[in-house]
Amino acid sequence: MSETAQNTEDLVLEQFRTYSGNGSMTATDDFFATGGDSFTAVHAATAISALTGRDLAPSLLFAHRTARALAARIDDAPPPAGTTEGSG
């Protein structure tokens, strides 16, 4: 796993833990099986979107239910229009 992928996974996991209320959640635990619900998914998606600078529809949390899966999806998505990654 690349450093970028690990950083994204850690960020997503931190938000999953915060919004599910489960501080012992791991990167491979299902957000909804460990305390998350549709309401907290919206809040988690909003926080992750703000932290990553990526548009993140809450529905993605239903398709990518673990921090590892969602982080991989975020890292595979193209950067937002008008930005350049890797510079600066």
Q: For 26-65, what is each residue's pLDDT tens digit?
A: 999 999 999 999 999 999 999 999 999 999 999 999 999 9
Q: Would the pLDDT of 75 be above 50?
A: yes
pLDDT at residue 87, rounded to an integer: 41
pLDDT (0 to 100) of residue 5: 62
**Share of the chain residues as helix, strand and coil, in percent rounded to the nearest 5:** 55, 0, 45
How much is the pTM?
A: 0.83
